[in-house]
């Protein structure tokens, strides 16, 4: 298990034990605990505790800086609309894969639909589309299919 996984597991467990679903931690304390640089903590926050995964992360830098993680429980439709609205004009394949994985894991999207959509968004399926346009086409397809799922 890598350092990123260890940090994420620790934070997830701490969040589950938190009374009100809110965890507040010091970035420097976490970095010392896991013997890593604070930017590694930032990486974990941005990749593992994103709004698409159902979290709100607030942070304040400085001597008394903190990171506050709040687990947000939203209904399926709200989550789907958030994802659709947060998709930009382009989405690369790794991002599309992560978003679909998160939607499937949260139960907002059936696994079969997630797999079919991922296949439709892949470079093999978009082979006739020029490389420089694939991310735009990928985003358009993803939005349209997710809209149908709402």
Query: Shortest CA distance to 142 belongs to which of 105, 99, 106, 82?
Result: 99
Higher pLDDT, 134 or 41: 134
In contact, 15 and 69? CB cutoff 8 Å: yes
Q: Both 9 and 44 in a single domain?
A: yes
In contact, 88 and 135? CB cutoff 8 Å: no
How confident is the model at residue 128, as a pLDDT? 97
Given 23, 49, 71, the domain boundary residue is 71
How confident is the model at residue 61, as a pLDDT? 74
How confident is the model at residue 63, as a pLDDT? 66
Mean pLDDT of 100-115: 91
Mean pLDDT of 130-142: 97
pTM for the model stands at 0.64
- Domain range for 120: 76-149
Mean pLDDT of 91-115: 91
Given 71, 91, 122, the domain boundary residue is 71
Q: Both 53 and 83 in a single domain?
A: no
Query: Distances from the Cα of 48 to the Cαs of 17, 42, 63, 141, in angstroms?
Result: 18, 10, 25, 25
Tokens of 14: 């701490």
**Residue-wise pLDDT tens digits, 50-82:** 776 778 888 887 666 789 998 877 788 888 898
Q: Both 33 and 95 in a single domain?
A: no
How confident is the model at residue 82, as a pLDDT? 84
Q: Both 51 and 101 in a single domain?
A: no
Residues in the chain: 150
DSSP codes of every residue in 61-87? -STT-EEEEEE----HHHHHHHHHHH-
Q: Both 81 and 144 in a single domain?
A: yes
**Residue-wise pLDDT tens digits, 17-37:** 987 889 999 888 999 999 999
Mean pLDDT of 111-138: 97
In contact, 51 and 86? CB cutoff 8 Å: yes
Query: What domain count does the chain have?
Result: 2
Please, what is the average pLDDT of the chain?
89
Q: Both 125 and 143 in a single domain?
A: yes
């Amino acid at each position: 298990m890598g350092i990123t996984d260890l940090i994420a597991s620790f934070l997830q467990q701490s969040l589950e034990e938190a009374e009100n679903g809110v965890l507040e931690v010091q970035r420097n304390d976490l970095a010392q605990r896991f013997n890593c640089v604070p930017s590694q903590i930032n990486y974990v926050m941005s990749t593992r505790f994103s709004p698409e995964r159902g979290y709100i992360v607030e942070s304040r830098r400085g001597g008394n800086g903190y990171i506050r993680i709040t687990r947000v429980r939203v209904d399926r439709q709200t989550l789907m609309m958030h994802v659709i609205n947060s998709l930009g004009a382009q989405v690369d394949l790794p991002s599309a894969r992560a978003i679909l994985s998160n939607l499937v894991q949260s139960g907002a999207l059936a696994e079969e639909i997630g797999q079919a959509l991922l296949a439709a968004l892949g470079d093999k399926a978009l082979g006739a589309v020029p490389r420089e346009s694939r991310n735009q086409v990928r985003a358009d397809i993803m939005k349209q299919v997710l809209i149908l799922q709402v």
